[in-house]
Structure 1
Amino acid sequence: MDESSAVRTVDVVSVGIEINNVTHLHKINQRETLQEVIDQLKFNLGLPKGQMYALQFDKRNCYVNESNRHLIKDGDVCHLVYSPEVLVSTILGRLNERWAMAKLLDFVGDASLVQQLELQDGISKLVTILQDDDLLPEVKELAFQVVAELFKQDKVPVEWMKGRLLNRVRIQVSGEFKSSDKTLAACLRISLALLDETGRQADGEQQVILDKIVSHLESGSQEVVEAALALLNKRTASEAIERRSLLRARDLLATRLQAAVWPIDAHFQQQLTVFQSRLTSRLVRKFECPANESDAKVRRRLSTLTATNAPSKDKFAETTLRLLAESMDQGQGNYQPNLLLIDCLTHSVRLQLHQLSDDLLKHQPFLHLCEQLIRLLLENLGLLSKETQMFHPILFCDRAFEEMFCACVRALNKTCKEMRAKGEDVPKILTVHGKKMQMALRETPLIPEKFEEAINKISYNQVWEAWLDENEAQQERAFRQKASFLELREELRPQYEDMVKMQRLRVMTAGCNLRRYASKVHNSLVHRSNKERVVNMKYNANGKSFVIADPEEGTFKIHKSQIKNVLTGHNCPHAKQRGSKISPELALSINLTNADVEFINLSANSAKELDYWSDGIRALMGQSMVSTSYNSELQDLLDMHLKIHFLGMENVEFPDGPAPPVPETPSFTNQLDINAF
């Protein structure tokens, strides 16, 4: 009687079973197989035995199976419906109807239904029916969404997408047929899945022109914009795109970014970063390409500078023209400005940068100064790095780099005027401005005006503090790598390990309340109740045993010699049990030998409490403490000791090599003979 009562209180959950919009209260034994549970429900509800039924979660388009049945809790409502096999058979019989396609879209994420869809050859039938000209438009839209979801699950072979069906996808993507945002996003994802490694469609069908894909970036749906951008990135990786189309796509994305109406998740940011690399690759190529006077583009830019300067007689333009002319003259030296420098200076002259400092303009050579400024800007934007690309929304603006260059020139000129800097001081100020650029870009400005505001707002004191913090961190990292520091750390380690161990033992001696779960009994097939109960557990140092006060089993002791092993997390047996409600992150199991039970299954109240008890038990067994809290606390204690130890040694230089050996004890041969007195 006690055993059956124990089973009912733990493994039986009371749920509402809804069938035909009528809810019936039933108890489900989680130890029985799912088929046994369904057969019992059919018997209780008087349903025919030949029909195949299954349980379905309420408000979730998901069937109950053996892997997720533990999610059923007391008071939940489940639907008793036809099994996935019956549902798929019914759907395939009415596949050209909207009801069937809508039902398939609702459950396409369920593994049980997709498995039955594969077994009944439903995926090939779905692909075939999409080629039917008589298919209703609303059914066709739903079908495209289902195929896109199946593509995401790698359930549709690429070779099936050919001929008329592929042409239908192309029509949707090209915008020849107006469809809903979800259908368009689905077709864009299908097109992306059909691209092979070379960026071309697998069967060689006519592709959608890139302008059509760019036009989808105007959509008000984030799902469509993300799918279109991913397809555009894939296509432009292997084929050229017109500059006009690239700039149009940039402007559309800049509008979305500046409006900030959508959250930018990791996937969307990755696609934006890939597209950004397409935009900025021209900047890097221009920076690495020296200008040649025989180049028509260079002559055109120089003529633009001359025409711009003619009416205004701007000092900055005059200086720029003179220096460019001197640098382009092969007889004036080997220095040649790069194309990006000429572009930036041309844009600066168009903006008519008046009243620049004479010291800034007279700094020799001024073009070198501008080129260093451009290099600093490229480095801080991460454009010169070959490994990783950083995402900067500001680069999606028109003439963003040139505008940022002008902002840096104005800020540099302002600093020179305020500090009354001479020509020899400009390189030092340039170094400060490099740090200002870095700090301003951390604020993620969306437009060049915000970048200029940020760089002007940063004071020299802020730059100095940032440098001090970086230098301290760098010196600390270098100091921690010195052999003498590491040797001292290892010498101190044992005493602090003992300190942490004693703290764990004090925690166990004080005891605490833990939740306990029963386990299998030795030499018996009977299971005890798995219902959690609160027990008090403490360590008796004198008796070298753990004392557990259990409200059901009374107080009993476990000698430390009986402990075979200690398990935590997902390795605990009660965390693996079907229908378990235990949080695996807090599970603790003590494996015993020569005892009535094999495991003492517990659950801690917090992660730190779990670490303390697992470390303490391992320490009693002579094992190493391996918890996260142990490593963190040990490092904190060692760091604190060493900081105090080296508190008065800020300017002391420590040797880089290993510490010298301890000298031997000297032998005193000239000792006085006490008997001589």
Structure 2
Amino acid sequence: MFSITVDFDPGTIQRLAQARRDVLKVAIEIPNSTPKLFEINQKVSLKDSIRDVCERWNVSDHDCYALQYADSKQYITEKTRSEIKQGAVLRLVLAPSKVVEHIVKSLHHPPSLADKVQALKKLSESSADPTFSEEFIRKRGIQWIVHEVEQEECQGEVLAYALTAFLELMDHGFVNWDNALTHEFLKKIAGLVNKINDADATILQRSLGIMECAVVNSNKFYHEIQDSITISNLISHLQRSNAEIQQNTIALINSLFMKAPSDKGRVGGRRKISDTMAQKQFRTVILNHVIRTPTAIGNEMAHQLHVLQVLTFNTLEERMMMKLDPAVQEEREKLLELRNVAFETSQHVSPVSKRPQGHITFNPSDFKKLGFINTNNPVLDFDKTPPGVLSLDLMVYFARNQQDNYIKLVLENSSRDDKHECPFGQSSVCITRLLCEILKIGEQPTEVGQHFYPMFFTHDHAFEEFYCTCIQLFNKTWKEMSAIKDDFDKVMSVVHDQIVLALNTKPASMEGFKQKLQALSYSEILKKRQQERLDKEQFDSQAKPVVELQQEVKPEIMDLIRQQRLNCLVEGTAFYKISNKRRDKSRWYCRLSPNHKIFHYGDIDDSTVTPGIETLPEKLAIADIKEIVTGKHCPHIKHARAHKSTTELAFSILFDPEEALNFIAPNLDIWCTWTDGINTLLGKNMKSTKAKSDLDLLLSMEMKLRLLDLENIPIPDQPPPIPELPRNYNFALTSA
């Protein structure tokens, strides 16, 4: 017998493994046939692999065929063949170039209208594949579709399939939108978008999609598109029951607004779109026909509503980033109006009749009562951006539209002492800045954002009403916290949590938002913060690195608890004697010697002086103790009619000969201390509930101290991997 051993070097083994990975086992099918198992070598060219497949299927002209995924119907190319997975199901189909040739021939010289419709249908289905689309575009397919759509007779199914194919082809980014679009084409699409009655759903949906993409991707056709679209017609499309049409309509409005030029000279620019979005009709249609529909809102519709909400709030950015200009008479009159409504209206004096002419001067005492910081010149309170003059706009809205609440709030605080006064002016500025931060005013909508709040679609002045509710919430929370001026930031932090928590419930209306806030009092916020802190501590304590650290620290903590128990035993405790007489209150004392060798005990009088060891005549050596028993197992409890509370506090030390030292502890804390201490002397584990609670408390405190430097740093569930050992250790430093 001979045995042959072949040694392969690591490089050879690696090459063999790679060779096995390069060979993929896949199933390949052709129409009307059962799939067959094939092996495809990724190192062999795709063309050669297709030829081998054709030979096994007895298919000639292998140059006319390509491989395609059976499920997605995406063609496989040399660039994408690396994405093929083991066990994939492929199809042997005509190559994209051959399919394009057939479609182009059918489109240019169709035998009948039905054949043309079938060719366009095949085109719209195949255009989702980038390989096919690139081949069709190379044959000037985009130009043919644009020209076809421009024709007056292009209607019905022909138009629907043509628009679908155009969208799919342009979606791959092979052609620039400015190069593909024409004036006549856009005019035809705009006419389809503006069509209200008898508009085909598919054609309208595709037309809205083309217009949106044209606005987003074209630089030279924006004004033409904006001028050609009637906004009222877009609002009518939102009332249709077709969710895709509603979604595309909102997307078109959003894109028109986002791409609107910032120049103020052009009539009908961004202001035109923002005015449309502020119309009650537009808001009502969105609310009743989109948000409050019985069907669930999809992810894409939620995204479009998110974008719409962000764009609507961003119309406030200009005022938010603008300082109050003292030279503008109207702005200074707003400040005077705040003062007049608060103090003169309450005295039945018209603020309008009191408005001075010309230059306006401010009374510092009035603006001190209003809670402004710069009482001599309140203009300076609006010098910081954000929130700029937006906060003044909101304060004036509050004073005009909720006059009773405004007067009540101002007068209530002005009647308090200076220490507990809630400054209306200062809090309004800070609340406005807080609301701008929460709603991210001034930031562009994210591509994946889906958060929107239905309540902001229920009011013509949603942000202003939002402010009015929140400024009254601030005053309410201030009173609940019994706050002083130094607590301003603390109150603001609580109000922030209240607003965010209420918004997270997505209330359906402003009244629903107010009801949510009523349930989120200051005490409720404290409970939630406490629970969050406990949850975080519990989560962190379960991380593997923390658990390992706890196991390392735990023995030290247990030793500390044992030492504390022994120290208590050395100090000693007074126990009541066991007697059947209720009035017998005589006591005896027991304590452990400092060397932990002997228990000293004996009777004591009623004095509170701790007896010394030398005054206690009886002794019990620790070495003589057999065991400790508790509860109903104690000799003095077993044969006596003891009350339940007495049984729970009883314990006995058994020693030779059959004798026992019996105890009734004054309370549960002393019972735990003594039983733990005696078990420690006997070398046993501490079993009391107090030992466990002390361990949990001390271990938690120790972990917090040790992890203090990791505050706000996430603790991983698993420790970092240990790197592999080096191939050699020839990396020691050598002298130059």
TM-score tier after normalising by the smaller chain length: 0.5 to 0.7
Higher mean alpha-carbon deviation, 143-152 vs 85-94, is at: 143-152
- Partner residue of 1:345 out of 399, 405, 417: 399
Counterpart among 423, 428, 434 of residue 369 in structure 1: 423
- The residue aligned with 1:284 is 320
Tell me whether 1:330 sits opposite 2:354 in the alignment. Answer: no
Partner residue of 2:520? Answer: 458
CA distance in 1, matches of 2:728, 2:527: 49
Partner of 2:191: 171
In structure 1, the residue matched to 2:33 is 22
Tell me how far apart the structure 1 counterparts of residues 180 and 36 of structure 2 sit (CA, whole Å). Answer: 47
For residues 144-159 of structure 1, what are the structure 2 equivalents within 5 Å?
144-157=163-176, 158-159=178-179
- How far is 1:13 from its partner? 1.8
Q: Matches of 1:4 and 1:470 in 2, distance apart?
A: 55
* Secondary structure, counterpart of 2:248 in structure 1: helix
Choose the corresponding residue for 1:401, options 463, 475, 478.
Answer: 463
Q: Which residue of 2 aligns with 1:87?
A: 99
- CA deviation after TM superposition for structure 1 residue 272, in Å: 3.1
Distance 1:452 1:330 in 2: 38
**Structure 2 counterpart of 1:234, from 258, 266, 274:** 258
Q: Do the aligned partners of 2:337 and 2:351 also contact (CA within 8 Å) in 1? A: no
Q: Is the 8 A contact 1:254 1:396 kept in 2?
A: yes
**C-alpha separation between the residues in 1 aligned to 2:436 and 2:337?**
27
Does the aligned pair in 1 maintain the 2:123–2:165 contact within 8 Å? yes
One of 219, 232, 245 as aligned partner of 2:276: 245
Instruction: Give how far 1:80 is off.
Output: 1.9
For 1:378 and 1:6, locate their aligned partners in 2 and report how far apart those are by CA, in whole Å: 63
**Unmatched segments (≥5 aa) in structure 2:** 1-14, 111-115, 263-268, 365-376, 380-390, 446-450, 534-715
Supply the RMSD in Å over aligned alpha carbons.
5.1
Q: What residue in structure 2 maps to residue 134 of structure 1?
A: 153
- Any idea what SS the aligned residue of 1:233 has? helix
SS of residue matched to 1:330? coil
Does structure 2 retain, via aligned residues, the 8 Å contact 1:185–1:223? no
Of 85-94 and 107-116, deviating more is 107-116
The amino acid across from 1:41 in the alignment is V
Aligned equivalents of 1:320, 1:469: Cα separation in 2: 50
Following the alignment from structure 1 to structure 2, what is the Cα–Cα distance between the partners of residues 461 and 374? 23
In structure 2, relative to structure 1, the CA distance for the partners of 1:134 and 1:623 (3 Å cut) is farther
Corresponding residue for residue 201 of structure 1: 221
Cα distance in 2, alignment partners of residues 392 and 144 from structure 1: 31
Distance 1:209 1:94 in 2: 37
Q: Which protein is bigger by CA-based radius of gyration?
A: 2
> Which one of the candidate residues 488, 492, 507 is aligned to 1:434?
492
Residue correspondence of structure 1 range 246-285 to structure 2 within 5 A: 246-248=277-279, 249-254=282-287, 256=290, 261-263=297-299, 268=304, 271-272=307-308, 274-281=310-317, 284=320
Paired residue secondary structure (2:133): helix
Matching of residue 52 in structure 1 with residue 64 in structure 2:
yes
Matched with 2:346 is 318
| Whole-angstrom CA distance in 2 between matches of 1:27 and 1:197 | 44
Aligned twin of 1:645: none
In 2, the alpha carbon distance for the partners of 1:214 and 1:620 equals 74
CA distance in 2, matches of 1:357, 1:137: 66
Q: Contact between 1:169 and 1:191, CA under 8 Å: does it hold in 2?
A: yes
Cα distance change on mapping 1:298 and 1:211 into 2, 3 Å: farther
Following superposition, the deviation at residue 210 of structure 1 comes to: 3.4
What amino acid maps onto 1:342 in structure 2? Answer: V
Give, as a single letter, the amino acid of the residue that structure 2 aligns with 1:232. L
Partner of 1:211 in structure 2?
232
Structure 1 counterpart of 2:578: none
Partner of 1:37: 49
1:275 alignment partner AA: L
Query: How far 1:77 sits from its partner (Å)?
Result: 3.4
Distance 1:194 1:14, change over 3 A: closer
Q: Please state whether the residue corresponding to 1:29 is helix, strand or coil.
A: strand
Distance of 1:416 and 1:38 partners within structure 2? 77
Moved more, 49-58 or 289-298: 289-298
Cα distance, 1:417 vs structure 2: 5.9
Secondary structure at the counterpart of residue 23 of structure 1: coil
Aligned ranges for residues 262-661 of structure 1 at < 5 Å?
262-263=298-299, 268=304, 271-272=307-308, 274-281=310-317, 284=320, 288=324, 318=346, 330=361, 332=363, 334-335=377-378, 338-349=392-403, 359-360=412-413, 362=415, 369-382=423-436, 388=443, 393=453, 394-398=455-459, 399-415=461-477, 427=485, 431-443=489-501, 444=503, 445-446=506-507, 447-461=509-523, 612=721, 615-618=723-726
Equivalent residue, structure 2, for 1:544: none
Q: Could you list the runs of 5+ residues in structure 1 that have no partner in the other structure?
A: 307-313, 472-606, 625-677
Name the CA distance, whole Å, in 2 between partners of 1:173 and 1:165: 12
- Equivalent position of 2:73 in the other structure: 61
User: Which residue identity does 1:57 align to in structure 2?
Assistant: Y
- Residue type of the partner of 1:362? S
CA drift at 1:22: 2.1
Q: Which amino acid aligns with 1:318?
A: S
| 2:125 counterpart (99, 106, 119) | 106
Q: RCO higher in 1 or 2 (8 Å CA, sep ≥ 6)?
A: 1
Alignment partners' CA distance in 2, 1:289 and 1:6: 73
The code of the aligned residue for 1:194 comes to A
Matches of 2:97 and 2:81 in 1, distance apart? 19
Compared with structure 1, are the counterparts of its residues 123 and 13 closer, same or farther at alpha carbon in structure 2 (3 Å cutoff)?
same
Q: 1:204 to 1:174 in 2, by over 3 A?
A: same
* Matched residue count: 472
User: For the residues of structure 1 that align with 2:335 and 2:486, how far apart are their CA atoms?
Assistant: 34
Question: Residues 52 and 449 from structure 1, CA distance in 2 versus in 1: closer, same or farther, beyond 3 angstroms?
Answer: same
Secondary structure at the counterpart of residue 59 of structure 1: coil
Deviations 1:141-181 (A, max 9, x none): 22212222333322334233213212111112223575455
Report the identity percentage.
Answer: 17
Give the structure-1-normalised TM-score: 0.57
Alpha-carbon separation, structure 2, partners of 1:8 and 1:619: 27
Shift in alpha-carbon separation, 1:413–1:4, aligned structure 2, 3 A: closer
Shift of 1:85: 0.4
CA distance in 2, matches of 1:408, 1:620: 67
Per the TM alignment, residue 88 of structure 1 is displaced from its structure 2 partner at its CA by 0.7
Partners of 1:400 and 1:355 lie apart in 2 by 22
Q: CA deviation at 1:457?
A: 3.2
Counterpart contact for 1:435–1:463, Cα < 8 Å:
no
Change (3 A) 1:236 1:214: farther
Preserved contact between residue 210 and residue 241 of structure 1 (Cα < 8 Å): no
Q: Deviations over 1:397-440 (max 9, x none)?
A: 42223323332344345456657x6xxx5645754442233213
| 1:86 CA drift (Å) | 0.6
Matched to 1:85, the amino acid is S
1:410 to 1:389, Cα distance in 2 relative to 1, 3 A:
same
The answer on 1:186 being equivalent to 2:206 is: yes
State the Cα deviation string for residues 307-332 of structure 1 (Å, max 9, x = none): xxxxxxx9996279789988976363
Opposite residue 48 of structure 1, the aligned amino acid is: S
Assess, with a 3 A threshold, how the Cα gap between structure 1 residues 5 and 273 changes in structure 2: closer, same or farther.
Answer: closer
Cα distance in 1 for residues equivalent to 2:484 and 2:188: 63
Q: Is the 8 A contact 1:382 1:389 kept in 2?
A: no
